A = this chain, B = another copy of it.
Amino acid sequence: MLAVIVLFDRFTALDAVGPYDVLSSLPGAEVVFAAHQPGPVANEKGTLRLMADAALADVPAPDVIVVPGGPGQHAHMDDQGLLGWLRTADARSAWTTSVCTGSLLLASAGLLRGRRATTHWLALDELAGLGAVPATGRVVTDGKYMTAAGVSAGLDMALVLAGKLAGDAVAQSVQLALEYDPQPPYQAGSPATAPQAIADALRARRDQILT
């Protein structure tokens, strides 16, 4: 099983690394970070750089595609090289997935037209504008398309995907090895549970957060 995680400038690191650490733990899995060119790719804050080990052109037919999100995705929504790669790879993939605003890239490539999909809670309207049917689940599956909500939801998505790829027992073993028994100190992880004022403040800063 070959999984390719697509990197681009100003991606969000956890979107990529959460799924990486789950999928790379599956028996027989090969997980490759790929970008237009191999080399270091900086996140949206510019203080984290992850190496892309392959050019996208060198990995045209992964079994699993993972597209992380991050403010940088907006600069790639008309990047025909990237969108073309996504369409070609998707034509042969077993699973095409995204985390956070990565789904805006899948939608920009035309892959989510009429499909139920999710994204960061601040980007659901934008996803709808690109032809997807926005859904608010943490992990939304429509056929072979699996999309996750914001950033940390990539962990949950990758475990769901691990179960599909390798069975429940293997996925549970990976969860236990990663000790994924989450206990956040606050009830603030979704707009439904966070204090209203905190959600409103993020809504007011939506453009700065997402772009």
Contact = CB atoms under 8 A, between A and B. Distances in A.
A176 B155 contact: no
Given A21-B151, A45-B24, A176 B159 contact: no
Interface residues of A, number: 64
A48 interface: yes
A80 interface: no
B151 A179 contact: yes
Contacts of A57: none
A175 B151 contact: no
A209 B21 contact: no
Contacts of A120: 179
Given A24-B47, A49-B50, 10 more contacts: A17-B48, A120-B179, A149-B179, A150-B178, A152-B178, A152-B181, A173-B188, A176-B190, A177-B209, A182-B184
3 nearest CB pairs, A to B: A150-B179, A181-B189, A182-B182
29 contacts: A14-B20, A33-B48, A40-B51, A47-B53, A49-B51, A100-B179, A121-B179, A138-B181, A139-B185, A150-B177, A151-B177, A152-B178, A153-B179, A155-B184, A156-B182, A159-B186, A169-B195, A169-B198, A171-B188, A172-B186, A172-B188, A173-B188, A175-B188, A175-B189, A176-B188, A176-B189, A180-B184, A181-B190, A181-B193
